[in-house]
């Protein structure tokens, strides 16, 4: 028998992961193409992710530096800043980014063969197929969804902390 993990428990597991693999669920609301601007789109994803690692230490980043494909300078975050909690006098690097009064979790996709992300798609609250969902997206976003390339797979990604979801019971272990 499995117990459902609520979003707060998932958040706590992620914040204590220190590079370990963690199951997480989250939602995103992609922007539809102009003719559907008043349509609510929602994608709910469940995946195995890693957290608490430093981007500069990723093997793909180190390999690209060694091959001369990128500079050794990793640089600052492209947006936002690492969250610093003044009350506890604690930095949340490399877990939490603060931007425009929102908190974001920085996560890393797993490349394990058995760690495929699963998504469910909704249009105006009704579950639809991936193809139907894609028809509401811009052409470039639809192509990324339906025909992803290796370049479409990010080394890291962020989700709004408030978009974490409870893990469904069947995968909460």
- SS3 assignment for the chain: CCCCECHHHHHHHHHCCCCCEEEEEEEECCCCCHHHCCCCEEEEEEEEEECCCCHHHCHHHHHHHHCCCCCCCCCCCCCCEECEECCCCEECCCCEEEECCEEEEEEEECCCCCCCCEEEEEECCEEECHHHHHCCCCHHHHHHHHCCCHHHCCCCEEEEHHHECCECHHHCC
Least Cα distance to 107 among 67, 117, 70 occurs for 117
Q: Which pLDDT does position 154 carry in this prediction?
A: 82
- pLDDT tens figures, 129-153: 999 999 999 999 999 999 988 877 8
Q: pLDDT (tens digit, 9 = 90+) per residue, 10-21? A: 778 787 778 888
The pLDDT, as a whole number, for residue 129 is 98
For the stretch 59-118, pLDDT in tens is 777 787 888 777 766 667 889 998 988 888 988 888 888 999 999 998 888 876 667 889
Domains of the chain, by residue range, sit at 7-54+93-171
pTM for the complete prediction?
0.81
């Amino acid at each position: 028998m499995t117990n459902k993990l609520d979003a707060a428990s998932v958040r706590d597991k992620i914040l204590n992961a220190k590079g370990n693999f963690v199951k997480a669920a989250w939602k995103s609301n992609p922007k539809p193409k102009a003719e559907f601007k008043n349509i609510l789109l929602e994608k709910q994803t469940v995946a195995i992710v890693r957290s608490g690692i430093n981007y500069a230490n990723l093997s793909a980043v180190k390999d690209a530096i060694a091959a001369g494909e990128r500079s050794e300078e990793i640089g600052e975050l492209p947006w936002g800043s690492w969250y610093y909690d003044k009350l506890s006098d604690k930095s949340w690097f490399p877990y939490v980014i603060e931007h425009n009064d929102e908190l974001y979790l920085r996560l890393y996709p797993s490349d394990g063969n058995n760690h495929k992300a699963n998504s469910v798609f909704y249009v105006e609250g009704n579950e639809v197929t991936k193809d139907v969902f894609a028809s509401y997206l811009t052409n470039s976003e639809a192509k990324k969804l339906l025909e992803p390339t290796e370049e479409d797979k990010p080394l890291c990604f962020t989700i709004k902390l408030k978009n974490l979801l409870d893990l469904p019971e069947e995968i909460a272990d």
